[in-house]
Amino acid sequence: MTRNAVFLIRTADRKGLVAQITGFFACRDLNILSCRQYTDVLEQKYYMRIAVELPAGLTKAELESEFAKLAAELELSYSVHYSGEVQNVAVMVSKTSHCLYDLLTNSEENLLGGGRVTLVIGNHPELEEVAEKFRVPFYCCPLKESGDEKQEAQVMDLLERHRIDLVVLARYMRVLSDNFISRYPERIINIHHAFLPAFMGGNPYQRAWERGVKMIGATAHYATADLDEGPIIEQDVERITHESLPEELRQRGRDIERRVLTRAVRAHLEHRVITSGRRTIVFSV
């Protein structure tokens, strides 16, 4: 059984980078499965996702120690990930179930890259039953107001104990504190139920109806200290007409929200996303 390694790399752009990095693997006779790159010519930065096959004789430690030398020499920032290492995903919810269902279903069908939903946390007890259907532990951590320190400590403790790699805010409807967010940089994905930057903040479907837009959308992004301002991973929209009342927009929006969120989570768990300031590079597989 072969294992694969995926390197996500960023560095200052300059001549010769592709040749040097791919040369590293070629010299060691490693098979390159896919190699995606992107040069941000405006900011002179270079990004690469390279997936290679690990031959039987090579350990992860050996590969990493050798690559570390190249990285030092070329001043690469990077992370490395291995196929077959399951990533634990926690889903935080409130009372709305459609995104949670979609994530649990995809997890069950092995369609979340290398991830599995292994924990559900609600600030209300309503969705316990949904988590139970899929035999995933559910914890109810109620809170009085957004950023409640005690509740967040409780949540973080759960994330620790379940060795969570990625936190997904699946219509959690509460703002996390900066302290919480800074503990999980680029490891919290939120769904906003509008096509950002349109309709930031609360009640977007009502406001979309009032503004009379002809399409509604949803946006999945990494959570940052600034609400609704984090790097966008995925967006989608659907056409509506004058006939759609706010309630129908809300219903139509569910389909958009859940597919946008699941796609974003999948891209993250497949190690296809690199952030670049407020922007993301999302490589195809």
Residues 226-265 that bind a second copy (CB under 8 A): 231-237, 239, 241-243, 245, 248, 251, 254-255, 259
Bridge-based pairing of strands 115-122 and 87-93 is: parallel
Q: Strand pairing partners for 139?
A: 121
For residue 156, the minimal CB distance to a second copy (Å) is 28
3-state secondary structure the chain: CCEEEEEEEEEECCCCHHHHHHHHHHHCCCCEEEEEEEEECCCCEEEEEEEEEECCCCCHHHHHHHHHHHHHHHCCEEEEEECCCCEEEEEEECCCCHHHHHHHHHHHCCCCCCEEEEEEEECCCCCHHHHHHCCCCEEECCCCCCCCHHHHHHHHHHHHHCCCCEEEECCCCCCCCHHHHHHCCCCEEEEECCCCCCCCCCCHHHHHHHHCCCEEEEEEEECCCCCCCCCEEEEEEEECCCCCCHHHHHHHHHHHHHHHHHHHHHHHHCCCEEEECCEEEECCC
Pick the closer one to a second copy by CB: 118 or 262: 262
Beta carbon of residue 177, minimum distance to a second copy (angstroms, whole number): 24
| Window contacting a second copy (CB under 8 A); options: 17-25, 114-122, 145-153, 171-179 | 17-25
Which residue in the set 11, 35, 58, 177 belongs to the binding site for a second copy (CB under 8 A)? 35
- Our answer to whether residue 255 is catalytic in this structure is no
Residue (118 or 280) nearer to a second copy, CB: 280
- Residue 190 makes contact with a second copy by CB under 8 A: no
Which of residues 95, 197, 203, 226 is near a second copy by CB under 8 A? 197
**Should residue 267 be labelled a site residue for a second copy when binding is judged by CB under 8 A?**
no
Is there binding between residue 34 and a second copy (CB under 8 A)? yes
Instruction: Retrieve residue 245's tokens.
Output: 């009342």
* One residue of 67, 138, 199, 205 binding a second copy per CB under 8 A: 199
12 binds a second copy (CB under 8 A): no
Options 29, 178, 228, 236, the catalytic residue: 228
Least distance (Å) between residue 132 CB and a second copy: 9
Contact between 41 and a second copy by CB under 8 A: the answer reads yes
* Nearest CA among 130, 142, 252 for reference residue 193: 252
Binders of a second copy in range 73-112 (CB under 8 A): 97-98, 101-102, 105, 108-109, 111
Alpha-carbon distance 39 to 11, whole Å?
10
Residue 142 beta carbon to a second copy: minimum distance, rounded to whole angstroms: 23
Q: Cβ of residue 97: shortest distance to a second copy, in angstroms?
A: 6
Q: Residue 261 in contact with residue 102, Cβ under 8 Å? A: yes
Nearest to 193 by CA among 211, 212, 213, 208: 208
Minimum distance between the CB of residue 59 and a second copy, rounded to whole angstroms? 20
Residues taking part in catalysis: 228
Residues that bind a second copy (CB under 8 A): 15-16, 18-20, 22-23, 25-26, 29-35, 37-39, 41-42, 97-98, 101-102, 105, 108-109, 111, 133-134, 195-199, 209-215, 217, 231-237, 239, 241-243, 245, 248, 251, 254-255, 259, 276, 278-282, 284-285
